[in-house]
Structure 1
């Protein structure tokens, strides 16, 4: 790799008409030289086969992400480099190359679909470069073209050496009438909260891909502070939601471990007046689970 190749990569990654982005490009090139040996190893990984070469061509951010303080708090260059390589090693062993490349071309892979007030309501696997600070894949609940909730995650080996998915962030809706929309979708899902639905869908996706564990970044582990308001109160309390979802704190305070299968109440645990709602909810979840399993089966090698 040469200064020309580093500069060419930088121009693919950054918008050079934006002065801030142009400065980031210059920093990127400088960091490439400072980490020349590591950059050669990164490049060697993506040159090993045709699929990886094409992936690096359509998603050049694989060269940038190890250099920046992404994914989780206090991650280092070596950890981020390993994270990316293990993520793509796992996926290339599980998913057909044309499907994997299609995801990184920013094309939805539909997992389940329904309708809400004449608009398609879908769960999809999706990814775009704007999500690269928190992960390498997303499960998104979309209403039409608008994302309502999404889980951004990556896959790598955990400290015990087993394949695991790590949720780097959960993002909610960003629209003027978000509360009204979410209220209506929750009602349509039989009083099942949309953020619980997106976690449930993520659990089903990663489980069907064959991972053995699911972890999530805590408030302390989040890589940045944009989930904290100016008054230091949390916009999103990740840790509280992970606890509500059956998560347990890890020895590393940056992560919770979550169950791979959502706990489902028995009818004996549900008040009599709510049992009809729960039956409809469980029927919907069974439909979603079956659809996700079939979609992943079609994607797999």
Structure 2
């Protein structure tokens, strides 16, 4: 039972008094830890032991979180934010300091570039629907921005395609790294369950033959272009943080998809550099009998990208005052409050 006091004594030997207080404060309000006292004590001891491996950098990170009101609000919603860099995160080959740099880069980018109400809706309220995407049969899907999932290790911002009832069909998760110069995709995931293949097949049909995975990557690239981010990277199979832990059940073949999307392996094979604008056929290259479907596919992709970039370029509503989803047949964009764009790259 003396583990945490022992850790506190070690902290005082390694750090000045003020940082010690910051570290001890990071033990409070940890809803992500078990409620049982002994289990909480074990989690606290493990957290402090890991953090002591990079005491100065961790201290600076805690100061960053505490000094920014929006980051303090993020921390209240997601206490795991304080120690994401102490666990596997995005790239299995990263050291703790690499993970910490990535986290700092992402949140500095988000604070500087995202409209403040949109940042709050994502990271404080837990996500925001951006608009409705009309499908072939007249039904609609919701395009949303979501924060990292509970104890997530694949990235800090997710673009999701959801059914109006709430089921997530597809999501792409990424982190803005390298001081805002690169967007690193750590997850591209489709539906789960026994009917997953049938759901994907039907969704592709309803999207006029546009593969959902391609749409999600297009959205991530649209985000990067809109933000002035010059590079898009896709995580390789070998470097995915879950590939070794779930060796028997990890089924995603990222390498094959990135290669299909004209990605080029780099950084020793840990990443694939992807084109900001994916090569696409022109209408002239499509057989005449398929051109109508081609135009509908492109129109759907463009509509989805516009929903995303319009949201990034103007203030989003607070979650409590967000408009209700429009009925079928409504315009694909949700009625954001008319304001001047808060983010003009």
Under TM normalisation by the shorter chain, which class is it? Answer: 0.7 to 0.9
Deviation at 1:35, TM superposition (A): 3.8
Superposition pairs of residues 92-131 of structure 1, within 5 angstroms: 92-104=111-123, 105-114=125-134, 120-130=140-150
Q: Retained in 2: the 8 A contact 1:111–1:125? A: no
| Deviating more after overlay: 221-230 vs 76-85 | 221-230
Q: Retained in 2: the 8 A contact 1:103–1:109? A: no
Determine if the alignment matches structure 1 residue 166 to structure 2 residue 184. Answer: yes
SS of the residue corresponding to residue 220 of structure 1 reads: helix
Aligned to 1:62: 81
| RMSD of equivalent CA atoms | 2.7
SS of the residue corresponding to residue 71 of structure 1 reads: coil
- TM-score, with length taken from structure 1: 0.87
Deviations 1:229-261 (A, max 9, x none): 53x8x6111011001112111143100011112
Deviation at 1:80, TM superposition (A): 1.0
Aligned to 1:134: 154
- In structure 2, stretches of 5+ residues that fail to align are 1-19, 316-341
CA distance in 2, matches of 1:15, 1:211: 39
CA distance in 1, matches of 2:138, 2:43: 43
Deviation at 1:173, TM superposition (A): 0.6
State how many pairs are aligned: 295
CA distance in 2, matches of 1:244, 1:186: 18
Deviation at 1:118, TM superposition (A): 8.0
Determine if the alignment matches structure 1 residue 252 to structure 2 residue 271. Answer: no
Determine if the alignment matches structure 1 residue 12 to structure 2 residue 31. Answer: yes
Q: 1:256 to 1:131 in 2, by over 3 A?
A: farther
Aligned to 1:277: 293
Q: Retained in 1: the 8 A contact 2:185–2:234? A: yes
Aligned to 1:148: 169
Q: 1:237 to 1:6 in 2, by over 3 A?
A: same
CA distance in 1, matches of 2:109, 2:96: 20
Deviations 1:195-223 (A, max 9, x none): 11111122112222221110010011212
Deviations 1:55-111 (A, max 9, x none): 333332222111112211221111111111111111111112232122013122415
Deviation at 1:131, TM superposition (A): 6.0
Name the larger-Rg structure: 2
SS of the residue corresponding to residue 125 of structure 1 reads: strand
Aligned to 2:331: none
Aligned to 2:304: 288
Q: 1:6 to 1:280 in 2, by over 3 A?
A: closer
CA distance in 2, matches of 1:118, 1:146: 18
CA distance in 2, matches of 1:7, 1:130: 18
Q: Which has the higher contact order (CA 8 A, sep 6+)?
A: 2
Aligned to 1:209: 227
- TM-score, with length taken from structure 2: 0.77
Deviation at 1:227, TM superposition (A): 8.7
- In structure 1, stretches of 5+ residues that fail to align are none
